A and B are shown apart, each in its own frame.
Chain A
Amino acid sequence: MKGLDITTPSASLVVQRQPFGLEVIVAGVWTMDAVLPSRSQVLKAIHASQSSTLLRFDMSAVQRWDSALVTEIIAITQAAQHQGLSVDSSSLLPTIQNLLNLVSALPEKHHPPKPPHRITWLEEWESGFTHILQEAFATVEFIGQLCLSSLDVIQKRSHFRRLDWWLQVQDCGPSAFPIVTVISLLVGLILAFVGAVQLSLFGAQMYIANLVSLGMTREMGCLMTAIIMSGRTGAAYAAQLGTMRVNDEIDALRTMNLEPLAFLVLPRMLALILIMPLLCLYADLMGIFGGALVSLTVFDISTAEYLDRTIHAVQMKDFLIGFVKSSVFGVLIAFSGCMRGMQCGRSASAVGDAATSAVVTSIVFIVIADSIMTLICNRFGI
């Protein structure tokens, strides 16, 4: 061939009609970083020839090659065999021939079953309803399992590890102080500001103290702590348990006769149930302090006056309501975190999904529970 100059190293692929049949001349550098020629001419020639024509390769001018050439040969051979041509495999380079033999050596040549296909967002919407049902079932199932394993622990059939519980308490309690301090102080400040501007319309700035203290103790203190803790601890629980699921650690616990719920979930739940009311109390105080700051600096209300008002406004029952609420929130946060973690899939991205949905679930639960409890308190005049 004229165009096939040996001095030009770039890859070339030429087909020629010969007395014996087709000859495919491969030459040049056939590597993945080289510019590769199109094989359409060769395929056209193959399609144009009758079956049982002989197809030979001439590879004498191939210089360097790698998988780029091997796949080319595979594609041409397959097309030729499909057309019924007979391929003279002895005309291939012996090393390539060996690689081709390896390709067809292993039994998994038959087509594997189609994998479950990826779900598009459209289908996700379609199956949204069944999804919600499944979620509800899974939640109920998880509650049931949790009750059973708590029973087991109470009846001393499975072991509850106090040390784990204590480690969890340390993990979720003290380290949350800084963020709770900042957030609740600022919430107190905001409440005082917004309230004072409105109250001063009636010349009733004095009532800032009532507003802030009641708002913090009954609602904002426990709500803000709950939201902080669901982002901090709830997500962490989901990620920890999810990673353990990915690494087969949870299955390993089962095989060792350790109930994962009693071993992993209960300590985390109890830790949060203990810590939440304490954090909430602390948040209440910080919020009231924030309100005092605003009234002192901006609205000229003396600290003594503010404190006096606060003591009159807030009763023990207000603190207790906050306490009860935050315990409930603690349960909900730990519950959603652990549930999402235990339901986690087996890939790295599933762990991320579990953490995300733990936060979303717990915030939804928290807001629903808070409305219910507020309604109840209102109804009974507490």
Chain B
Amino acid sequence: MPQSVISVEDLTMAYGSVLIQKDLNFSVNQGDIFVIMGGSGCGKSTLLRHMIGLSSPLKGDVRFGGQSLVMADSLQRQQLMKKFGVLFQTGGLLSSLTLGENISLPLTESTQLSAGKIREIVAYKLALVGLAGFEDYYPLQLSGGMQKRAGLARAMALDPEILFFDEPSAGLDPVTSKHLDDLILRLRESLETTIVIVTHELSSIFAIGNNGIFLDAETKTLIAQGSPQQMLATSQEAKVLNFLYRGNLPSAEGHKNE
């Protein structure tokens, strides 16, 4: 029985009076590569914000190994946050710092490492995302995809236990995006990192995802969960199948809808 690291219980999220998603129940296990799927605007980024405690839910709870994130006081929350690495959909790099400074910031803040060691770690993380030697660049001197990868390097800076990626491969070419998949698999294999990832990239969903959920904007809740392969084999929902077949629902599966 795999150990559950994140469990989301009856989570209901809203912006003001606008309900985004309601009654979400799922759990992410240790070492999972957990894919959050769903159409654009259905609330995936919002769910991610709630899972890392940046927004508080209308109802329900997010628990990390039994500890509630909603109930946590600021100290506990800080402790929890240290376990996370987050890549935001828009990168979230600090534009007044160079890439090197961006990545070394968490290292200097939360470890006792020497400056030389930090430089090595920064260089290594940048090399992992294919940006070796770009330490002295400012984020705005890079392309959109490069900024995304630098954001990834920053998320991984502290070798966190859980990584949250919001559309890491958006804006990347297929080769780099494949490299990213490899990177994610290696991270899980070597450091047993749990990875929660929002993505639309079908090839990487099937290549790396071993668990996941599918959010729906109309019913405002999740309509499928399990590994992508499982969803494909067992889901009765036309929306899920349509998504996983890129809108080309084969006629053999056609009878499954309605």
Which residues of A are in contact with B by a Cβ distance under 8 Å?
Answer: 31-33, 36, 66-68, 70-72, 74-75, 95-96, 98-99, 102-109, 111-112, 114-117, 346-349
Bound-state Cα–Cα, A116 to B137, Å: 8
Residues in B neighbouring A102, C-beta threshold 8 A = 128, 179, 182-183, 186
Cβ A67 vs Cβ B124 within 8 A: yes
When distances are taken between beta carbons in the complex, the residues of chain B under 8 Å from A104 are 127
Q: A103 to B137, Cβ gap below 8 A? A: no
B158: Cβ under 8 A from any A Cβ: yes
Given the complex, which residues of A lie within 8 Å of B125, measured CB to CB?
67
Residues of chain B lying within 8 A (CB to CB) of residue A71 = 117, 120-121, 123-124
CB distance from B179 to the nearest CB of A (A): 6
Residue of A nearest to B140 (CB): A346
- The residue in B98, B121, B136, B190 that gathers the most chain A C-beta atoms within 10 A of its C-beta is B190
Contacts of B159 in A (CB 8 A): 31-32, 66-67
Tell me, in angstroms, the Cα distance from A104 to B123 when the chains sit together: 12
Bound-state CA distance A75–B176 (Å) is 25
Q: How far is the CA of A134 from the CA of B86 in the complex (A)?
A: 42
CA distance A68 to B114 in the complex (A): 11
Let me know if A99 and B130 touch, CB within 8 A: no
Q: A68-B121, A115-B141 are in contact. List 10 more A-B contacts (CB 8 A).
A: A67-B125, A71-B117, A99-B190, A102-B128, A102-B183, A106-B129, A108-B134, A112-B137, A347-B95, A347-B96
- Tell whether, in the assembled complex, residue B133 and residue A349 are in contact, meaning their CB atoms are under 8 Å apart: no
Can you list 26 pairs linking A and B with CB atoms under 8 Å apart? A31-B159, A32-B159, A33-B111, A68-B113, A68-B117, A75-B120, A95-B186, A98-B186, A98-B189, A99-B190, A102-B179, A103-B124, A104-B127, A105-B130, A105-B182, A108-B132, A108-B133, A108-B134, A112-B133, A115-B98, A115-B136, A115-B137, A346-B140, A347-B139, A348-B95, A349-B96
Given A36-B117, A108-B132: A347 and B138 interface contact (C-beta under 8 Å):
yes
Smallest CB–CB gap between A251 and chain B, Å? 14
Question: How many A-B pairs fall under 8 Å by CB?
Answer: 89
**Shortest distance in angstroms between B221's beta carbon and chain A's nearest beta carbon?**
33
B107 at the interface (CB under 8 A from A): yes
Interface of B is mostly: helix
Asked if A103 and B127 make an inter-chain contact with CB atoms under 8 angstroms apart, the answer reads: yes
Are the CB atoms of A108 and B131 closer together than 8 Å? yes
By Cβ-Cβ distance, the 9 closest A-B pairs, closest first, are A106-B130, A95-B190, A347-B95, A66-B159, A71-B120, A103-B127, A349-B96, A115-B137, A71-B124
Judge whether A109 and B117 touch: CB under 8 Å: no
Given contacts A67-B121, A67-B124, A74-B120, contact A108 B138 (CB under 8 A): no
Q: Which residue of A70, A116, A347, A349 contacts B124 across the interface (Cβ within 8 Å)?
A: A70
Chain A positions within 8 Å of B202 at CB level: none
Q: Which residues of B contact A (CB under 8 A)?
A: 95-96, 98, 107, 111-113, 117, 120-121, 123-125, 127-134, 136-141, 158-159, 176, 179, 182-183, 186, 189-191
B191 touches A66 (CB 8 A): yes
Cβ B138 vs Cβ A115 within 8 A: yes
Q: Which residue of A lies closest to B186 (CB)?
A: A98
Residues of A within 8 A of B179 (CB): 102, 105-106
**B130–A107 touching, CB < 8 Å:** yes
CA distance A106 to B24 in the complex (A): 39
In the docked arrangement, what's the CA distance between A347 and B131, Å? 21
Q: Bound complex: CA of A348 vs CA of B121, how far in Å?
A: 27
Q: Within the assembled complex, what's the spacing in Å between the Cα atoms of A342 and B187?
A: 44
Q: Which of A31, A67, A71, A107 has the most C-beta atoms of chain B within 10 angstroms of its own C-beta?
A: A67
Which residues of chain A are near B190, meaning CB under 8 Å? 95-96, 98-99
A114 to B131, CA, bound (A): 13
Q: In the bound complex, how far is the Cα of B111 from the Cα of A71, in angstroms?
A: 15
B153 → A minimal CB distance (Å): 11
The winner among A31, A98, A103, A114 for most chain B CB atoms within 10 A is: A103
Nearest residue, chain B, Cβ from A104: B127
In the docked arrangement, what's the CA distance between A33 and B107, Å?
10
When C-beta atoms are compared, the residue in chain B nearest to A35 turns out to be B112
Tell me whether B176 and A32 are in contact (CB under 8 A).
Answer: no
| Bound: A348/B140 CA distance, A | 10
CA distance A104 to B126 in the complex (A): 11
Q: List, in ascending order, chain A residues with CB within 8 A of B158's CB.
A: 32
A103 near B96 with CB under 8 A, answer no
B88 to chain A, nearest CB (A): 15
